Amino acid sequence: MSDARQEILSRLHQLPTLPVVVQEVIASFQDAGLDTASLAYKITQDQGLSAKVLRVANSSFYGLSRKVSSIQEAVVVLGFDTVRSLVLSAGMMKVFPIASGSLFDRQAYWQNSFRIATIAKALAKHFQQGQQLAFTSGLFCEVGQLVLDLCIPQQFSAVLQRHADSGLSLLEFERAELGFDHAEMGAELIRLWNFPQEIEQVVRGWQQPEQSPTFNSLICLVYMAASVENGASLEDMKSGLGETACSQMAAKWELLAAAIPSAGQLEQAASLALHN
């Protein structure tokens, strides 16, 4: 095992503990009989987290006609799944806050992540898949970059500087330089924090969906969302997915463009990172 890999794995176990309520929110993905009222009450006990969730809930992105003043009210107006996503994002941003002085721009990272998540949710609706799981998967699909920036900042900065002229994807370049990539380390964090296995699989495999040993429609949705965010054409997207994935998605591709949020909606989504 390389020194850098060992350092990251050691530091993952030393990261600040997620707030208890965030841990309970993660566990709620596996609880079919969840008492949402009880969990909403627990969220209110973390005043800092509650304040962040309410700031986002009252942002222009959701366009509510009246101000939401409590977590319970947010659950009623926005739905528990949406509030759960907001709690998770606020909790993760507490561990990986926007910081200055690094080559890796965490503010841009979070803005990009909220855009991908918003696109993934819209695509999930189009393909009749689980919208909130798609949103959460999109939000954390590149969390491994945060792991590398936090655990081996100098090495990761050097990788980012040299990558531009390499002609390789970032994952390929990381593997060549470090012996591992951010997808692997992101999946390890997601596993360590007991996120649903589906999200771990997305983090590990979305960038090469047909090569993933756990190929599924959620991986495809996040791949498509990230492709849209990165400006890929429909044909490039289909080519990257491969015939098997396109067949499994059974999409009416000609209607796909109408399902993608507008540029204005995506900028509003990006602004959510600034409310946390």
Q: How buried is residue 228: exposed, middle or buried, by Cβ count under 10 Å (0-12/13-18/19+)? A: buried
Q: Establish if 114 belongs to a structural domain.
A: yes
Q: Establish if 179 belongs to a structural domain.
A: yes
Phi, psi torsion values for 104, nearest 5 degrees: -85, 120
Task: Residue 224: give the domain boundaries.
Answer: 3-14+96-275
What integer pLDDT is reported at residue 114 of this predicted model? 92
Please tell me the total count of domains within the chain.
Answer: 1
Q: Establish if 43 belongs to a structural domain.
A: no
Non-local CB neighbours of 240 within 8 Å, separated by 6+ positions = 209, 223, 227, 232
Phi, psi torsion values for 165, nearest 5 degrees: -100, 15
Q: Establish if 34 belongs to a structural domain.
A: no
Residue 222 has pLDDT above 90, yes or no: yes
Residue with the larger pLDDT of the pair 226 and 96 = 226
What integer pLDDT is reported at residue 275 of this predicted model? 66
Averaged over 239-257, what is the pLDDT? 74
pLDDT, mean over the chain? 87
Q: Establish if 174 belongs to a structural domain.
A: yes
Q: Establish if 40 belongs to a structural domain.
A: no
What integer pLDDT is reported at residue 96 of this predicted model? 84
Q: Establish if 55 belongs to a structural domain.
A: no
Residue 217 has pLDDT above 60, yes or no: yes
Lowest model confidence (mean pLDDT) among 79-83, 215-219, 233-237, 251-255? 251-255
Residue with the larger pLDDT of the pair 156 and 56 = 156
Residue 251 banded pLDDT, cuts 50, 70, 90 = low
Residue 201 has pLDDT above 70, yes or no: yes
Non-local CB neighbours of 144 within 8 Å, separated by 6+ positions = 181, 182, 183, 184, 185, 186, 187, 189, 203
Residue 247 banded pLDDT, cuts 50, 70, 90 = confident
Q: How many beta carbons lie within 10 A of that of residue 196, not counting itself?
A: 17
Q: Establish if 71 belongs to a structural domain.
A: no
Share of residues in the chain with pLDDT > 70 (%): 94
For residue 195, what is the domain's CATH number? 1.10.3210.10
pTM of the model: 0.89
